Amino acid sequence: MSRYRLQPSPAQEQALLEHCGHARYVWNLAVEQHACWKPGRRSAPGFAEQCRQLTEARAESAWLRVGSIIVQQQALKDFAQAMANYFGGTHRRPTWRRRGRGEGFRIVAVKADDVRRLSRHVGEVKVPKVGWIRFRWSRAVPDGVKSYRVTRDRAGRWHVAFAAVPAPVPAPGTGQVVGVDRGVAVSAALSTGETLHAPGLREAERARLRRLLRKLARATRGSNRRAKVKAAIARVKARESDRRKDWVEKVSTDVARRFDVIAVEDLKIRNMTRSARGTVEAPGRNVRAKAGLNRSIMAAAWGGLVRRLEDKAPGRVVKVNPAYTSQRCSACGIVDRQARESQARYRCRSCGYACNADVNAARNIAHAAGHAVSAREGPRVAGPVHREPQRDLLLVG
C-alpha cells in the first residue's frame, strides 16, 4: 500500500465528501442490521444479500442514486471484511462511523490509464463522478493498481492509497520450514531463534504524545486549539502506523524469500481453544489493561503480516492448530503447564530445555507443520529430539 497526498480543488473536495457520506451511511446501515441480530434468529444478511438491499435502497432514494455504486458496494465489502476480522479475533467489532472521523471510500476495477503522471512531482487519479484529482507524486506508483482508497484524516488532509497485489516472492527451494509466532514481548518470533520487533514511537515522540494528550484534556470542546491538538495527535499516530506497515512489508518479503514453507497459528482455531490452552499464558499474554491498546495494535500488525505473507508466498503458508504451542517443550515434546517461567522465558522441567517462550512456540508451530527445524538452534541443555510430525494438527489453508 503506497499513500500519496491528494490535492483536490474546493469543488472536488465537496464531491469527495459526498462519496464519504454515502460510504458512511451504507456502513452504518450494515452495523445497525447486525446490531439488531440476536442469537436464534435467522442469520444477519451477508454481503450478497446486502448488495441486493442496496439496489432497492438506490431505487428509492435519489440521494443514494446520484452517488457511485462502487463506493456504496465497497463500503458493504469493507464491512464484511471487518466482520471477518472480528470473528478471526484480530480486530474489534465494527462500530458506527461518525462524520469527520476516519472518513473514506474505496474504488475498485481501476483501469491502467486511470492513474497518470503529469510532471515530476504531480500525478492524477480518476475518481468516478468526480473526475481527475491531482496528487503529489512522492514515490513511484506501483504497477498493476487494482484498487485505491481515498481517505480524509482528522486534520482534514486527503490521501489516496493505491493497492496492487504484490508479485509473489520466489521460494528458495531449500525445503526449509519456518514457524512464526506472535508475541507481546516480541512482535514475532521465528523458529530459527530470531525475534522481530515491530517499531513503535521513539521515546521523545511518546513524550510528545503524552504532552499532547494532556493538552487535549485541558482544551475546551469545539475550540480551535482543541482541533489543532487533535490534528497533531493524529499526525504522531499516523507516523507510528506507517512504521508498522513498513515493517510488515520488509518482514514478509524477507521471510517469503528465505523459507519454502511458512507455518503460522490458525487464529480461528486459536479463539475457539483459548480457554483450553490453560491459564499459564494468561499472565503473559494479558499484561494488564494498560497493555490493551498496545495489544490490539499488535494484533492488527500480526493480521497484516499473515495477509502479506499469503500474498507474497501464495500456497506456501500453512496454518496449524495452536493448541499447546506455548506449553509444549519444543525439544522433548512434553506439555508442561508450568514451564512458562515468565512472559519471556520457557524452561522445560522435564528435559531442562530453556529458551525464549515465543521462540519455543514458533518451533512447535514449525514442528506441527510436519518438518524439523533445520536452521540455527539456540543453546540447549539436552539434545534436540525432533518428534514425528503430528498430522492431526496440520491444516493447510
Give the residue numbers annotated as catalytic, written as ranges: 181, 265, 358
Shorter beta-carbon distance to Zn ion: residue 306 or 348 = 348
For Zn ion, which residue of 71, 298, 329, 373 counts as binding (CB under 5 A)? 329
Cβ-based nearer residue to Zn ion, 185 or 332? 332
Among the listed ranges 226-234, 253-261, 332-340, 384-392, the one in contact with Zn ion (CB under 5 A) is 332-340
CB of 333 to Zn ion, least distance (A): 7
CB of 332 to Zn ion, least distance (A): 3
Nearer to Zn ion, 97 or 347 (CB): 347
Nearer to Zn ion, 233 or 339 (CB): 339
Of 248 and 339, CB closest to Zn ion: 339
Question: Measured from the CB of residue 195, what is the shortest distance to Zn ion in angstroms?
Answer: 20
The CB-of-346 to Zn ion minimum distance in angstroms stands at 9
Q: How far is the CB of 267 from Zn ion (least distance, A)?
A: 26
- Residue number, 273 or 350, with CB nearest to Zn ion: 350
Is the CB of 252 or the CB of 327 nearer to Zn ion?
A: 327
390 binds Zn ion, rule: CB under 5 A:
no
Stretch that binds Zn ion, among 118-126, 129-137, 157-165, 324-332 (CB under 5 A): 324-332
Q: Beta-carbon neighbour count of residue 85 at 10 Å?
A: 18
State how far the alpha carbon of 203 is from the alpha carbons of 206, 207, 210, 297, in Å.
5, 6, 11, 18
Rounded Cα distance between 44 and 189, Å, is 38
Q: Cβ 290 to Zn ion, closest distance in Å?
A: 33
CB under 5 A: which stretch of 103-111, 262-270, 283-291, 340-348 binds Zn ion?
A: 340-348
Does residue number 346 form part of the binding site for Zn ion (CB under 5 A)? no
Check if the beta carbon of residue 148 is closer than 8 Å to that of residue 125.
yes
- Chosen residue from 178, 305, 348, 365 binding Zn ion by CB under 5 A: 348
> CB 382 → Zn ion: shortest distance, Å?
7
Q: Which three cell numbers stand for residue 240?
A: 507510528
Closest CA to 232 of 151, 135, 149, 156: 156
Rule CB under 5 A: choose which of 350, 375, 384, 394 binds Zn ion: 350
Q: Is 331 in the site for Zn ion (CB under 5 A)?
A: yes
- Map residues 351-380 to x or -, x wherever contact with Zn ion holds by CB under 5 A: x-x---------------------------
Here's the x/- map for Zn ion, 65-104, by CB under 5 A: it reads as ----------------------------------------
Q: Residue 34: what residue type?
A: H
Which residues, in sequence order, are bridge partners of residue 159?
5, 151
Binding site for Zn ion (CB under 5 A): 329, 331-332, 348, 350-351, 353
